[in-house]
Structure 1
Amino acid sequence: MYKQRIMTLILCLVFFTVTLACQSEKIPPAEKTQPQENASHPKEEKPPQTAYLDEVMARAQKGMTSDSPYNVLNSSMKQVKAEWGEPDQVDKVGFGYYATYKNKNVVLGFNELGQVFDIRSYAKDLRTVTVKEAEEAFGEPMDIRMVNDEYIYVYKLNESIELKLIIPKNMKGIDHISVFNSQRKIVNKHTDDEYKLDIKGKSNQLTAQAWGKMQNWREQIVQFSNEHENVYTNGPNKKMVALTFDDGPDEIVTPAIIDILNEYKVKGNFFFLGSEVKKYPDVVKEAYVKGNLVLSHSYNHVDLTSLSKEKIQAEVDQAGNAIQAVIGQEPAILRTPYGETNDKVASIAEQEGYSIVLWSIDTLDWSQKESSNIVNNVIENVRNGDIILMHSDSEKTETAKALPLIIEALQEQNFEIVDLETLLGVKAYQ
C-alpha cells in the first residue's frame, strides 16, 4: 500500500512538470526576450570620429574644409575679406601668398589674381585623429612625404584637388589639413605676361647630332618649367641678370672667381656638389661670407631622373646637410646635374623645400672652353632676367679669365648683377 502511494506521487510530479513545459513552449519568444526600448540594443551608429572624418572628406571633395565657407575652385580673397575682414597676417611664399585668420583657425593660400588655391584648417578636433583612424577612413594615401619634420599624407581627389594631412613627428594627431588646387596655383607662377626666354649659347665643338639633341632638350625644359611651379629657367622682364657657377668647389678656380666677384662688388650663385663641399669647406665658407649664395648641385652629380625616389632624396639631403654643416644653413635652391629634371624630381625637390633653378644662357665653358667664346655667349645673347650658366671646377681656368670681361660688359649695358633670391623672389635658404 505504501509503495502504491509513492508511485502515485511520482507520477503526479512527472505529469505536473510536463504540463508546465508545454505551457512554457506556447509563450512567444518575443514576449520572453523583449527588452525595453534602447535598453541593451540601441540603434547602430557610426563612431563620432568616423562621422567627423567622413565630413572632412566630403567637404574636401568640394574643395572645402569643415570650418570655412570658401573653396579652392572659385573663391577669391576679395570675397573672403568682404566677409571675414583683413587677415591677421599675410606671408609671401614664392609667387603665392598665405593669409592667416587666427580666430577662424584657417590659413588661405592665394595667387596674384586673388584666387584661393589652398585652404588650411587647424581645427582642434583634428588633433584627436590618429594616423590609423585617418587611414581607416580615407584609405591608403597616394603619397607620404617628409618635409621639415612633418609627415604629409597626400590624397588625390580629382585632377586638380588634393587633400593633405600634416602630421608632425612629435604629435599623435593631425596638426592641420590642406585642401589644395594645383591648377590654380600654377596660374600665378610667371608674372610679366608669361615672360619666358629660350635658352641661348653655342659651341663649335659639338657634333650636329649633339647640337640637335641639346636644342630639343632646351625646348622641352623651357616648356617643363612653364608647367611646374617650382622650376625656373629665367627671371622677370627687368634689367637684372644672375651669374651662376656649377660643379665646385675646388682649391684654385672657385677661390679665383670669389675674388673677382668681390673685387667688382657683385654677387654670384654657387651650385656646389656635396661631395666636394666636404673636401674644401674653407672655400665654401669664404664664398658664403663674401655674400654669395651657396646652393645645391646634388651630392654626387648623377642624373637624378635615373634614380629611385629614395636615392633622389638621399642625393638632395646629403648635399643639403654637407652645406649646412659648413655655413649653418640648408639651401632652398637646387640645380639638377646636367639640368635633367622630370615630374618625379620636381615633386621630390618641392617636398624637400627646394626650388629648381636652371638657366637661360649656357656659356658652354665645358665644351668650347676658350674665354672669348664664353664672353661672346653672354654678351651676344643677354636679355632681361637671364640666368647665366658657368662652372667653377678645377678645369675651368678660362671661365675665371672670362669673368671680369663679362661683368664689365654687363655693367656697361646697365644690367644689375644680382643673386637668384633677388632675381626670382624665392628663398635661398630653408
Structure 2
Amino acid sequence: MSIATKKRLLKYMIATLALTLIVGCSPSNPQNSDSSKPTDSVSQTPSQMPPSSSAPQTTDAAKELLLNMKQLAEQGKVINNDFPVKTTVIEDVKSKWGEPEKTEWVAAAKGSYATYSNKATVFGFNKGSRIFEVRSFDKQLKQLSLAKTKEVYGTPAYDVKVNGEEIIGYTAGPEFKIEFVFPLTTASNSDPVMDHYLVLHPAGTVNNMADDPGRQW
C-alpha cells in the first residue's frame, strides 16, 4: 500500500470516528434539544389557563328561607306542608294525617284549632271546617332571628307584644297574611329566634250569620 493511500485511509477513519461521537452525544428527544422552549404549564395561553381560584360566595340561608316562606304564604301555605288555607278543610288533613292530638275552640281566634305535634303544625278552622290558619313550628325556624326577619321583610304592618311574645305581621298577596312569633327581647337576648309562624286567611274568620267581621291578624 502506497503512502498516499495510507494517508487517505487514516483521514477516512478519523472522519468516521468524529461523526460517531457527534451522533452519540445528541439528545434522544428532539423537543429537549431546545433549552429555551417553555414547559407545558408555562406555554399555556391565557385562554387555556385554569381560572384563578376564589373563595365561594357565602349563601345567606336565613334570607333564602324567609323569601321562600313569603312566596309560599302568597299561595296560602307554610313550609313543608301541602295544606293551604282557604281551599282546604280539616277533613282533608285527617284523611292523610289521621286524627289530631287535640282540638280546642279558641274564641279570640275565631275558630277551632287542631294540633299535630308530630308534624309540628296546628290548623285553625271555622264552623264550616274550612282551614283559615296554619301554624308551623318547623325546626328550620330556629335559624331565623327577629332582626333578620325585619331586615328581609321590612317594617311590619302589624307589631304587638303580648303574653311574653312579640308578633309581627305582613301582607302576603291580596288575600293572606303572614305572622312571625318571637319571645320578647330581653337584656340577655337582644335578638331572639323565631318560635313559630303562621299564614292566615282573614276572610275565613268572618261569620256573617253572627254579624262577626272576623279578624285581620
**TM-score, normalized by length of structure 1?**
0.36
2-structure distance, mates of 1:119, 1:100:
10
**Other structure's SS at 1:127 match:** helix
Answer yes or no: is the 8 Å Cα contact 2:161–2:184 preserved in 1: no
> Structure 1, unaligned stretches of length 5 or more?
1-25, 196-225, 231-346, 352-430
Q: 2:203 aligns with which of 175, 183, 196?
A: 183
Q: 1:53 aligns with which of 66, 80, 85?
A: 66
- 1:229 aligns with 214
Superposed CA deviations along residues 53-98 of structure 1, whole A, max 9, x for unmatched, are 2221111111001121101120010101001100000111114100
**Other structure's SS at 1:136 match:** helix
1:134-173 → structure 2 map (5 Å cutoff): 134-169=149-184, 172-173=192-193
Query: Offset at 1:99?
Result: 0.4
1-structure distance, mates of 2:154, 2:66:
12
Answer yes or no: is the 8 Å Cα contact 2:202–2:214 preserved in 1: no
Q: Of the two structures, which has the highest relative contact order with CA contacts closer than 8 Å and spacing of 6 or more? A: 2
**Other structure's SS at 1:178 match:** strand
Query: Offset at 1:138?
Result: 2.0
1:1-400 → structure 2 map (5 Å cutoff): 34-35=51-52, 39-42=53-56, 44=57, 46-94=59-107, 95-169=110-184, 172-186=192-206, 189=207, 194=209, 226=211, 228-229=213-214
Superposed CA deviations along residues 192-231 of structure 1, whole A, max 9, x for unmatched, are xx25xxxxxxxxxxxxxxxxxxxxxxxxxxxxxx35237x
**Other structure's SS at 1:40 match:** coil
Query: Offset at 1:30?
Result: 5.7
Answer yes or no: is the 8 Å Cα contact 1:154–1:163 preserved in 2: yes
Give the letter for the 1:51 counterpart. E
**Other structure's SS at 1:80 match:** helix
Answer yes or no: is the 8 Å Cα contact 1:67–1:104 preserved in 2: no
| RMSD over equivalenced CA pairs, Å | 2.5
Distance 1:227 1:90, change over 3 A: closer
Give the letter for the 2:51 counterpart. Q
Query: Offset at 1:160?
Result: 2.5
Give the letter for the 2:126 counterpart. N
1-structure distance, mates of 2:55, 2:71:
30
**Other structure's SS at 1:91 match:** strand
* Structure 1 residue ranges, 4+ long, deviating more than 6 angstroms after superposition: none
2-structure distance, mates of 1:181, 1:34:
51
1-structure distance, mates of 2:124, 2:179:
14
Distance 1:97 1:227, change over 3 A: closer
Query: Offset at 1:136?
Result: 2.5
2-structure distance, mates of 1:176, 1:126:
7
**TM-score, normalized by length of structure 2?**
0.69
- 2:14 aligns with none
Which has more radius of gyration?
2
2-structure distance, mates of 1:169, 1:96:
26
Equivalent pairs counted in the alignment come to 168
**Other structure's SS at 1:164 match:** strand
1-structure distance, mates of 2:48, 2:151:
40
Query: Offset at 1:41?
Result: 4.3
Give the letter for the 2:205 counterpart. K
**Other structure's SS at 1:87 match:** coil
